[in-house]
């Protein structure tokens, strides 16, 4: 069913007030309602159609008066009933929707449900109004249709609470743990990951997707193997394969095979992938959601993970308008309902929060209706100068981001995990890896070798084309490293063996780009691809002992 949202929110409250008003007022120009309204509150999709049904056009005003019960100009109320019914037929409502609106109007009375031959008066009126407008036989109003529409919540007993003794099993999450008791992406729900552009949200989501597809631990916590489908609005197939290859390059062949088997990565660059469209100021489903659901069912996904990267590419209209956010979330929840999966939007942080140091609600671009519609909101923020100083990472703080929750309907939103942007030299892209950061040992407590190693790391970080000969030249009592050449060489060897520093062969391409002299055959670089359990920072000096 297509769900419409009308850009006429200012008109909605007045109609909702009419609909919700159970005490109908009598007036000389109106016939009092004597029958009970069998239908409960109108469904939201019909409520949102009211501004277009009784819109700003002059010809619509007389029908609004009919809705209010003013039958002036009509010989009888029966003719007024027929006129309002025809108006709704011409506004493309279904016959069942028209019946619900009639029951909510001031024209409704007990005669509407009075039997006249084989049909009720309401059936006769609506069938006559829709004659020639909608000829589909399914649009002929039958008694069973009226009975089904007469009460939106027919079986009251099914809504009574049930006490379940001895507790209940925990909720299911598809994503990994980022802190004790806090997991990402609740199953059968809509979530989002919010971050600034170039912060690494696509790389992070793809990395998590690969780990889930392979059933491989992430952040030292186990993951249940599930099928995953990820859609990209800004990446082509080559770039997707580049990122995927960088993520799984150090995995076993079996892990790589499982990731490939249970993962679909779909580029939508250049395609119109909007889940909604706008026609005559109305938000409607575009049909893309149904295509996605069909693909997911063919892939056999159930209770898995579906990632839509990013929200702007799937939305129509201004994200600051609540109807835009509501309509796209409604479409995404169709995917949730059809597959039972965790559905995750990648989304951007609003400009007002670019320099924020904490991740809280109100971060996402656009209307708060979006944040209200999701069950969990996670986000990435860069490392602050204060945090970098705390961890001794002033020179490399741009490589670290903090992943945490601002909204979590299923538990605490506090705490999170540090991520490091690790460059993959083989694939020329970035991989996001969780790391454990600890405060470095104060210089006063470092051993002599640790102090020398720290000076070497600081120098190499600031001077990318450092060589062994350059470090030799910095040795000596008066040198920057303040250590003998032998000790500098010993510390450098330890740093290389521990993986803190890489020795890089200089190619002709690198030599030309970085203006490196011909005699230089290799250079030293800080290792930015070190495994997460061995963070590439000064913390590794902790384990060294002085001679």
pLDDT at 321 over 80: yes
Q: What percent of the chain has pLDDT over 90?
A: 33
For 411-467, the pLDDT digits (tens) are: 666 678 999 999 898 899 999 999 888 777 666 666 888 888 888 988 888 888 899
Looking at the fold, whether 238 and 285 belong to one and the same domain comes out as: yes
Do 191 and 270 fall into the same domain? yes
Per-residue confidence (pLDDT) for residue 48, from 0 to 100:
67
Lowest mean pLDDT among 20-29, 155-164, 356-365, 419-428: 20-29
Q: How confident is the model at residue 76 (pLDDT cuts 50, 70, 90)?
A: very high
Percent of the chain at pLDDT > 70 equals 77
For 175, 477, 524, the CA distances from 456, given in Å and listed in that order, are: 39, 15, 10
Element (H, E) at 430: strand 429-435
Phi and psi of 147, rounded to 5°? Answer: -65, -40
Q: Give Cα separations from 437 to 101, 240, 274, 545 (angstroms).
A: 61, 29, 40, 21
Looking at the domain assignment, is residue 84 inside a domain? yes
Does 147 score more than 70 pLDDT? no
| pLDDT computed for residue 509 by the predictor | 79
Do 152 and 185 share a domain, yes or no?
no
Q: What is the pLDDT of residue 4?
A: 43
Can you give the residue range of the structural domain that contains 466? 443-543
d(CA 446, CA 273): 56
Distance CA 475, CA 276 (A): 65
φ and ψ at residue 207, rounded to 5 degrees:
-65, -45
- Average pLDDT value for the chain: 79
Mean pLDDT, rounded, for 71-87: 92
pLDDT in tens, 33-59: 222 233 345 666 677 677 667 765 556
**Collapsing DSSP states into helix, strand and coil, what is residue 471?**
helix
Residue 88 placed within a domain: yes
101 and 189 part of one domain? no
State pLDDT tens for residues 274-308: 999 887 778 888 889 999 999 999 999 988 999 99
- Tell me the whole-structure pTM to 2 decimals: 0.58
**Is pLDDT above 50 for 171?**
yes
- Residue 417 belongs to some domain of the structure: no
CATH of the domain at 262: 3.40.50.300
Domain membership of residue 294 (yes or no) is: yes
Asked if pLDDT for residue 506 goes beyond 80, the answer is: yes
pLDDT per position as a tens digit, 213-222: 999 999 888 9
160: its two tokens = 């009574």
Alpha helices in 151-252 (DSSP H): 201-214, 237-248
So what's the pLDDT on residue 118? 82
**231 DSSP β-pair partners:** 266, 308
342 and 205 assigned to the same domain: yes
Residue 145 inside a domain? The answer is: yes
Q: How many distinct structural domains can be found in the chain?
A: 3
Q: 14: left (phi > 0), else alpha (psi -120 to 50), else beta? A: alpha
Does 525 fall in a domain?
yes
Which of 340, 358, 379 represents a domain boundary (last residue)? 379
Which residue among 326, 358, 379 closes a domain? 379
Q: Could you tell me the pLDDT band of residue 207, with boundaries at 50, 70 and 90?
A: very high
Tally of CB atoms within 10 A around 286: 19
Q: Are residues 239 and 346 in the same domain?
A: yes
Query: 363 with 464, same domain?
Result: no
Please indicate, yes or no, if residue 384 is contained in any of the structural domains.
no
More confident residue, 333 or 13: 333
Place of tokens 């597809």: 213
* CATH code (residue 495): 1.10.10.10
- State the angle between helix axes of 448-462 and 485-498 in degrees (0 to 180), rounded to the nearest 10: 70
- Let me know whether 141 and 40 are in one domain: yes
pLDDT of residue 522: 92
Residue 218 three-state SS:
strand
CA dist 400 and 397 (Å) reads 6
Choice between 348 and 16, residue whose per-residue pLDDT is larger: 348
**What confidence category does residue 406 fall into, taking pLDDT thresholds of 50, 70 and 90?**
confident
Whether residue 128 is found in the same domain as residue 223: no
Would you say residue 399 lies in a domain? no
Q: Residue 517: pLDDT above 80? A: yes
Could you count the other beta carbons within 10 Å of the beta carbon of residue 322?
Answer: 17
């Amino acid at each position: 069913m297509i769900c419409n949202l009308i850009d006429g929110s200012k008109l909605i409250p007045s109609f909702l007030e009419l609909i919700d008003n159970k005490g109908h007022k009598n007036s000389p120009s109106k016939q009092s309602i004597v029958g009970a309204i069998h239908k409960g509150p109108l469904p939201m999709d019909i409520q949102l159609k009211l501004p277009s049904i009784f819109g700003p056009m002059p010809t619509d005003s007389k029908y609004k008066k009919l809705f209010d019960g003013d039958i002036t100009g009509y010989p009888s109320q029966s003719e007024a009933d027929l006129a309002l019914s025809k108006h709704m037929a011409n506004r493309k409502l279904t016959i069942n929707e028209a019946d619900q609106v009639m029951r909510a109007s001031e024209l409704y009375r007990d005669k509407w449900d009075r039997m006249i031959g084989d049909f009720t008066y309401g059936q006769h009126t609506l069938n006559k109004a829709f004659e020639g407008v909608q000829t589909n036989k399914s649009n002929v109003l039958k008694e069973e249709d009226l009975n089904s529409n007469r009460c939106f919540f027919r079986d009251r007993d099914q809504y009574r609470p049930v006490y379940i003794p001895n507790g209940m099993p925990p909720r299911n999450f598809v994503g990994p743990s980022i802190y004790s008791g806090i997991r990402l992406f609740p199953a059968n729900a809509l979530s989002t990951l919010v971050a600034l552009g170039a912060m690494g949200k696509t790389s992070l989501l793809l990395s998590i997707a690969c780990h889930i597809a392979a059933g491989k631990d992430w952040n030292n916590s186990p993951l249940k193997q599930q099928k995953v489908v990820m859609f990209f609005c800004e990446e082509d197939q080559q770039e997707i394969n580049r990122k995927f290859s960088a993520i799984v390059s150090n995995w076993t062949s079996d892990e790589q095979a499982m990731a490939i088997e249970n993962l679909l990565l779909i580029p939508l660059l250049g395609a119109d992938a909007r889940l909604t469209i706008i026609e005559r100021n109305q938000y409607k489903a575009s049909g893309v959601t149904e295509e996605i659901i069909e693909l997911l069912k063919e892939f056999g996904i159930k209770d898995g993970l579906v990632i839509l990267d990013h929200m702007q590419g799937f939305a129509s209209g201004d994200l600051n308008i609540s109807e835009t956010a509501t309509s796209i979330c409604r479409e995404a929840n169709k995917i949730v309902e059809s597959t039972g999966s965790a559905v995750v939007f990648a989304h951007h942080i609003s400009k007002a929060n670019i320099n924020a140091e904490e991740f809280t609600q109100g971060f996402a671009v656009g209307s708060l209706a979006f944040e209200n519609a999701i069950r969990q909101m996670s986000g990435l923020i860069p490392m602050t100068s204060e945090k970098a100083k705390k961890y001794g990472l002033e020179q490399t703080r741009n490589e670290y981001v903090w992943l945490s929750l601002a909204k979590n309907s299923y538990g605490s939103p506090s705490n999170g995990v540090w991520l490091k942007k690790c460059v993959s030299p083989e694939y020329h892209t970035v991989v996001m890896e969780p790391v454990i950061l600890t405060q470095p040992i104060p210089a006063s407590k470092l051993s002599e070798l640790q102090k020398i190693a720290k000076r070497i790391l600081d120098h190499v970080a600031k001077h990318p084309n450092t060589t062994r000969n350059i470090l030799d030249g910095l040795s000596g009592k008066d040198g920057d490293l303040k250590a003998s050449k032998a000790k500098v060489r010993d510390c450098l060897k330890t740093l290389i063996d521990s993986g803190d520093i890489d020795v890089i062969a200089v190619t002709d391409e690198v030599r030309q780009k970085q203006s490196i002299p011909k005699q230089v055959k290799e250079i030293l670089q800080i290792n930015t691809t070190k495994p997460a359990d061995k963070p590439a920072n000064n913390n590794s000096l902790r384990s060294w002992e002085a001679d």
